[in-house]
Amino acid sequence: MTKLFVSLLMLGIGSAAAAQQPAATVIAIPPLSSPDSGNKGNEMLAIGWNVTQAIEADLRQTAEVTPLKPNRDDYYPYPEVTGPNFTKWRQAKAKTLITGFVQGRSDGRVTVGCYVYDVEKARELGRKGFIIGANDWRRAAHKCSGLAYTAITGAPGIFDTHIAYVAESGVGEARGRRIAVMDSDGQNHRYLTAGDAMVLTPRLAPKGDSLAYVSFAGGKPAVRVVDLNSGQERPLVPNDAISFAPRFSPDSSRIAFSMMLGANSDIYVVSANGGAPRRLTTSPGVDTDPSFSPDGTKIVFESDRGGSQQLYVMNADGSGQRRITFGGGWYASPSWSPDGQWIAFTRRGQDGRRIGIIGADGGGEKALTSGPGDEGPSWAASGRELLFQRSLGAGRATIYRVALDGSDPRELVTPQGGSDPDWSGVVE
Amino acid sequence: MRIKAAFLLTLLVGATVAEAQLPGLRRRAPTPQQPVLSTIDAQRAEFAAQSGGTTVYFGSDSAIIGAPAKATLGAQAAWLRRHPEVAVRIEGYGDGLDTRDHALAVGARRAEEVRSYLVLLGVPGAQVSTTSWGKERPGLGRAVTILVR
């Protein structure tokens, strides 16, 4: 009876989601203008063209927005930045329009302004301006893309975000692993570890200034925290216990993690600056993979205290622990969505491991991938898609991204094989 | 170990000096002697031979030590009591089908159960340390290896 009810509920949600799925919004991105003239004007227009093309590339990755191909012939004079030719873009079937400008400054940097308009209503939806180094145009583009994406969907954009993951080379005993971080569009790729020790599960602080990960450098797995600005590193807890599964709180002030005490794995929380950890769970089973709710008041985690791995939610002080998954099989590696609505998980059954989501209250479970070697979901800042790891046999792993709309997962391009992806929030 | 390192170092210094003194002249390097079988290898071989193996196996998602494992660990404990100068590291493994962190915890739990059992049989706690490889090393699911180090 319960099973029937659950599947009916899932059907209902599935069709509702399909019905709500709107056609992608068409957006026009004519080349950015400039108030400058002469050589400087040409220089600014060249930067503007770079920004324009980068905005197009950003928005083309999304399921909700379809950009018209930018055309250099669509150049408009500076006053039209704030007074665009709506008739022209209505005829081009664009619903939304981005205009903007690049202006040189006396200190060598440039001012970039972006404006987003509803073409049909001839109304401004938002604007953003910033001063950047002339070579930093890509970040300006990401900010403009985010402005447009949020104006259209209401959700935060994912363009100015970072992805941390474990870069893998070789297979079997020769498998080498390094922690790597890159921008979400694949730019600025860099390695944080040398590859001389096994490493796992990098987790970025939401503020973007530090990263926690698991290293086997000391002979046993232990969480380490690295400051991304200074490169300085320290163990999370100053003991020789096995510790793993770190995750930052949404305000970056605390880190929840698992630690072994004898044969028992429990969840602890510790200030991100160090200090004594506080124990949150005491069950004799394996409690691990804690993930904070976006308001920081709750933690979802997995536990096999009831005989099989299931998801539980507790208050951030450890009180009020209750199970939320009852769908059969094992549920593991939960991750709370940035909008608070969903919890993504790995579900393990006879036919392998798949990624799914369930409402934070335990209702409306939905499978997102077909497996059989999928695990470790991590949310995009938009709350509309996830990264996860897919094992392809022989120990090889690749990172994929999948949207909540039920479309097929797409491979995330990384220089090498990759596992354990972690997607940051929007960088301010 | 130390003996081997010193031997290599000598060889290296000898070659450098020879080349520096006789530029253009090639002198044959001395034939390396068969290195003495290091103590640790001998201990490992003896430990494995006398305790019926260095690996014990577990059931799915379980850290319960079964009868075959108890027999192996009993022999290991007897050997370790006779060799209090030898330290061992107990390395736990998880199931490759499991999720990463759960496999890490299960491997650690298996290693810790083995350690507790050896201590129960009279092996001093300081002689045994534990770690877990989870599912990060292929081939050895649901097992614990006891490694002389």
* Per-residue pLDDT reduced to its tens digit, A116-155: 999 999 999 999 999 999 999 999 999 999 999 999 999 9
Residues B27 and B44 in one domain: no
Q: Which residues of chain B lie closer than 8 angstroms to A264, CB-CB?
A: 109
Mean pLDDT of A260-286: 95
The verdict on a CB contact (< 8 Å) between A286 and B105 is: yes
For residues A27 and B98, what is the distance between their CA atoms, to the nearest angstrom? 44
Could you tell me if A393 lies within 8 Å of chain B, comparing CB atoms? no
Categorize the per-residue pLDDT at B2 as very low, low, confident or very high, splitting at 50, 70 and 90. Answer: very low
Does A13 map to a domain? no
Give the chain A residue nearest B96 (alpha carbons): A395
Mean pLDDT of B34-48: 74
For residues A262 and A312, what is the distance between their CA atoms, to the nearest angstrom? 23
Count the Cβ atoms, other than its own, within 10 Å of residue B40.
12
A94-109: pLDDT as tens digits = 999 999 999 999 999 9
- Specify the 3-state DSSP secondary structure of A319: coil
Distance from chain centroid for Cα A224: 21
Residues B99 and B68 in one domain: yes
Residue type, A281: T
pLDDT at A15 over 80: no
What burial class does residue B9 get, using C-beta atoms within 10 Å of its C-beta: 0-12 exposed, 13-18 middle, 19+ buried? Answer: exposed
CATH code (residue A112): 3.40.50.10070
A32: nearest Cα among A169, A141, A188, A183: A141
Residues A146 and A172 in one domain: no
- Domain end, chosen from A153, A173, A196, is at A153
Categorize the per-residue pLDDT at A12 as very low, low, confident or very high, splitting at 50, 70 and 90. Answer: very low
pLDDT at A372 over 80: yes
Residues A379 and A346 in one domain: yes
- Domain end, chosen from A93, A122, A153, is at A153
Question: Which residues form the domain of A110?
Answer: 20-153
- Extract the tokens encoding A168: 């893998």
Categorize the per-residue pLDDT at A366 as very low, low, confident or very high, splitting at 50, 70 and 90. Answer: very high
Q: Which residues of chain B lie closer than 8 angstroms to A218, CB-CB?
A: none
Question: Which residues form the domain of B31?
Answer: 1-36
pLDDT computed for residue A427 by the predictor: 78
Q: Which residues of chain B lie closer than 8 angstroms to A222, CB-CB?
A: none
Does A119 map to a domain? yes
- Give me chain A's average pLDDT, please: 91
Categorize the per-residue pLDDT at B30 as very low, low, confident or very high, splitting at 50, 70 and 90. Answer: low
The verdict on a CB contact (< 8 Å) between B132 and A289 is: no
- Extract the tokens encoding A273: 């600056």
For residues A273 and A351, what is the distance between their CA atoms, to the nearest angstrom? 42
| Phi, psi for B69 (deg, rounded to 5) | -65, -40
pLDDT at A301 over 70: yes
Could you tell me if B130 lies within 8 Å of chain A, comparing CB atoms? yes
Give the chain A residue nearest B106 (alpha carbons): A286
pLDDT computed for residue B29 by the predictor: 57
Does A11 map to a domain? no
3-state secondary structure chain B: CHHHHHHHHHHHHHHHHHHHHCCCCCCCCCCCCCCCCCHHHHHHHHHHHHHCCCEEECCCCCCCCCHHHHHHHHHHHHHHHHCCCCCEEEEEECCCCCCHHHHHHHHHHHHHHHHHHHHHCCCCHHHEEEEEEECCCCCCCCEEEEEEC
Taking the CA of residue B29 and the nearest CA in chain A, the distance in Å comes to 32
For residues A20 and A15, what is the distance between their CA atoms, to the nearest angstrom? 8
Does A409 map to a domain? yes
Window from A98-107, A225-234, B27-36 with minimum mean pLDDT = B27-36
pLDDT computed for residue A416 by the predictor: 86
Residues B125 and B77 in one domain: yes
The verdict on a CB contact (< 8 Å) between A221 and B134 is: yes
| Secondary structure letter of residue A33 according to DSSP | B
Residue predicted with more confidence, B30 or B82: B82
The verdict on a CB contact (< 8 Å) between A286 and B116 is: no
A302: nearest Cα among B67, B103, B113: B103
Count the Cβ atoms, other than its own, within 10 Å of residue A171.
14
Categorize the per-residue pLDDT at B3 as very low, low, confident or very high, splitting at 50, 70 and 90. Answer: very low
pLDDT computed for residue B87 by the predictor: 92
For residues A97 and A125, what is the distance between their CA atoms, to the nearest angstrom? 10
pLDDT computed for residue B1 by the predictor: 37
Residue type, A393: G
Length of chain B: 149
Residues A216 and A309 in one domain: yes
Does A15 map to a domain? no
Mean pLDDT of B92-103: 94
Residues A80 and A203 in one domain: no
pLDDT computed for residue B40 by the predictor: 81
Residues B124 and B81 in one domain: yes
Percent of chain A past pLDDT 70, that is, above it, reads 93
Residues A127 and A227 in one domain: no
Residues A381 and A274 in one domain: yes
Residues A71 and A187 in one domain: no
Give the chain B residue nearest A371 (alpha carbons): B97
Do A82 and A169 contact (CB within 8 A), yes or no?
A: no
Residues A342 and A372 in one domain: yes
Could you tell me if B113 lies within 8 Å of chain A, comparing CB atoms? yes
Residue type, A73: D
Residues B13 and B82 in one domain: no
pLDDT computed for residue B31 by the predictor: 63
Among B101, B112, B130, beta carbon nearest to A333: B101
Categorize the per-residue pLDDT at B35 as very low, low, confident or very high, splitting at 50, 70 and 90. Answer: low
Could you tell me if A425 lies within 8 Å of chain B, comparing CB atoms? no
Does A129 map to a domain? yes
How far CA B69 is from CA of A92, A374, B29, B84, B89, in Å, comes to 74, 33, 50, 22, 17
pLDDT at A21 over 60: no
Categorize the per-residue pLDDT at B111 as very low, low, confident or very high, splitting at 50, 70 and 90. Answer: very high
Residue predicted with more confidence, B81 or B21: B81
Residues A131 and A216 in one domain: no
Among B100, B116, B130, beta carbon nearest to A201: B100
Does A224 map to a domain? yes
For residues B91 and B107, what is the distance between their CA atoms, to the nearest angstrom? 8
Q: Which residues of chain B lie closer than 8 angstroms to A220, CB-CB?
A: 130-132
Residues A147 and A167 in one domain: no
Among A172, A264, A309, beta carbon nearest to B138: A172
Q: Which residues of chain A lie closer than 8 angstroms to B104, CB-CB?
A: 200, 221, 242, 244-245, 288
Residue predicted with more confidence, A344 or B31: A344
- Specify the 3-state DSSP secondary structure of A151: helix
pTM of the model: 0.83
Beta bridge partners of A279: A268
The verdict on a CB contact (< 8 Å) between A220 and B130 is: yes
pLDDT computed for residue A19 by the predictor: 41
Q: Report which secondary-structure segment, H or E, holds B19.
A: helix B2-21
Residues A122 and A190 in one domain: no
pLDDT computed for residue A169 by the predictor: 84
Residues B23 and B74 in one domain: no
Categorize the per-residue pLDDT at B24 as very low, low, confident or very high, splitting at 50, 70 and 90. Answer: very low
pLDDT computed for residue B126 by the predictor: 94
Residues B103 and B64 in one domain: yes
Which ipTM was obtained for this model?
Answer: 0.85
Distance from chain centroid for Cα A365: 21
For residues A260 and A74, what is the distance between their CA atoms, to the nearest angstrom? 63
Q: Please give the tally of structural domains in chain B.
A: 2
Does A135 map to a domain? yes
CATH code (residue A341): 2.120.10.30
Q: Which residues of chain A lie closer than 8 angstroms to B113, CB-CB?
A: 263
Q: Please give the tally of structural domains in chain A.
A: 2
pLDDT computed for residue B140 by the predictor: 75
Residue predicted with more confidence, A14 or B51: B51
Residues A289 and A393 in one domain: yes
pLDDT computed for residue A395 by the predictor: 66
CATH code (residue B129): 3.30.1330.60
Mean pLDDT comparison of A213-222, A386-395, A419-428, highest-scoring range: A213-222
pLDDT at A41 over 90: yes
Residue predicted with more confidence, A229 or B39: A229
pLDDT computed for residue A14 by the predictor: 39
- Domain end, chosen from A130, A153, A176, is at A153
Could you tell me if A203 lies within 8 Å of chain B, comparing CB atoms? no
- Extract the tokens encoding A355: 């990624």
Mean pLDDT of A251-280: 95
Residue predicted with more confidence, A3 or A190: A190
Residue B31 CB partners (closer than 8 Å, separation 6+): none
Residues B32 and B69 in one domain: no
List B residues 21-60 in contact with A (Cβ-Cβ < 8 A): none
